[in-house]
């Protein structure tokens, strides 16, 4: 069995995989070594991969190195796709992991991965398993925070309602309408531009905020929760074969 760790900007996630199946998963605002040990105690882990866009405690790395065959995912880690990103050292590991997972399910098709989290990222891999890059846009709470931070009177929205009006009749409703409907229009607009160029395109939506869009997007999409964890599992398997 394999241990997958992903340290993101908002959440820190841990999972156990048995071959290609995720059999255990948990997300934390901040994970500790104690919690990692508790999480894996009942699983015969033999290898691990850790991906991080933040600094994490060195004791976690030391523990993983001693206990398992560990891979620290970086721009130098061998991967099963062609990466044509011009600055691989600045590429978010979550973005690359997501397109690797997408490439594994979209055989002979191009894929656009939309990951709605702290940021909304758009990443494209073609039908020859070549990754070119994509786009980065502010996530929902980043947009809410920007409206509050850069104005004097607009309130900070911290909870998103399931229903949001097109026409807001209060300031709070107007903010909901602008952010949620504006983001939805952004996503649909970008999908349309990609589909003009790539007729075989598979749209994959993931991320913690996907629930606000997956049933509202007019285009046909494939919802893939925790796509980054599946991509990291593929990377771990790919390197184990070397």
Domain boundaries, the chain: 2-72, 82-231
Indicate if 82-231 has the same CATH topology as 2-72.
yes
Phi, psi for residue 28 in degrees, rounded to 5 = -130, 155
Closest CA to 6 of 39, 28, 24: 28
Tell me the Ramachandran region of residue 108: left when phi exceeds 0, alpha when psi lies from -120 to 50, beta otherwise: left
Q: List, for residues 40-62, the tens digit of each pLDDT value.
A: 999 999 999 999 888 888 899 99
Strand pairing category for 2-7 and 47-52: parallel
Report the chain's mean pLDDT, rounded to a whole number.
92
- Percentage of residues of the chain with pLDDT beyond 90: 79
CATH class of 82-231: alpha beta
Question: CA–CA separation, 72 vs 196, rounded Å?
Answer: 38
Q: List, for residues 85-131, the tens digit of each pLDDT value.
A: 999 999 999 999 999 999 999 888 999 999 999 999 999 999 999 99
Exposure string (b/e) for 200-224, b if CB count within 10 Å is 16 or more? ebbbbbbbbbbebbbeebeeebbeb
Q: List, for residues 176-215, the tens digit of each pLDDT value.
A: 999 999 999 999 999 999 999 998 899 999 988 998 888 8
Closest CA to 113 of 197, 203, 225, 231: 203
Residues designated as active site: 94
pLDDT recorded at residue 164: 76
Give the global pTM.
0.91
pLDDT confidence of 161, banded at 50, 70, 90? confident
pLDDT recorded at residue 242: 59
pLDDT recorded at residue 216: 85
SS3 97: helix
Tokens of 153: 């009177």
Domain 2-72 coded CATH 3.30.420.40: yes
The answer to whether the CB of 91 falls within 8 A of the CB of 75 is yes
Query: What radius of gyration, in Å, describes the C-alpha atoms of the chain?
Result: 19
């Amino acid at each position: 069995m394999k241990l997958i760790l992903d340290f993101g900007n908002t959440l820190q996630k841990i999972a156990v995989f048995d071959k290609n199946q995720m059999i255990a998963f948990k997300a934390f605002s901040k994970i500790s070594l104690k919690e990692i040990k508790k999480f894996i105690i009942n699983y015969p882990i033999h290898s691990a991969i850790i991906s991080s866009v933040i600094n994490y405690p060195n004791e976690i790395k030391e523990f993983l190195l001693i206990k398992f065959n560990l891979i620290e995912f970086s721009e130098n880690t061998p991967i099963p796709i062609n990466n044509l990103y011009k600055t691989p050292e600045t590429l978010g590991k979550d973005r690359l992991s997501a397109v690797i997972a997408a490439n594994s399910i979209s055989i002979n098709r191009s894929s656009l991965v939309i990951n709605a989290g702290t940021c909304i990222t758009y990443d494209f891999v073609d039908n020859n398993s070549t990754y070119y890059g994509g786009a980065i846009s502010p996530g929902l709470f980043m947009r809410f925070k920007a409206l509050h931070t850069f104005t004097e009177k607009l309130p900070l929205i911290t909870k998103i309602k399931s229903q949001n009006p097109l026409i807001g009749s209060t300031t709070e409703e107007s903010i909901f309408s602008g952010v949620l409907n504006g983001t939805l229009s952004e996503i649909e607009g970008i999908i349309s531009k990609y589909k003009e160029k790539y007729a075989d395109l598979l749209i994959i939506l993931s991320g913690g905020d996907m629930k606000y869009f997956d049933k509202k997007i007019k285009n046909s999409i494939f919802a893939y929760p925790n796509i980054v964890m599946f991509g990291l599992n593929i990377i771990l398997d790919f390197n184990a074969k070397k």
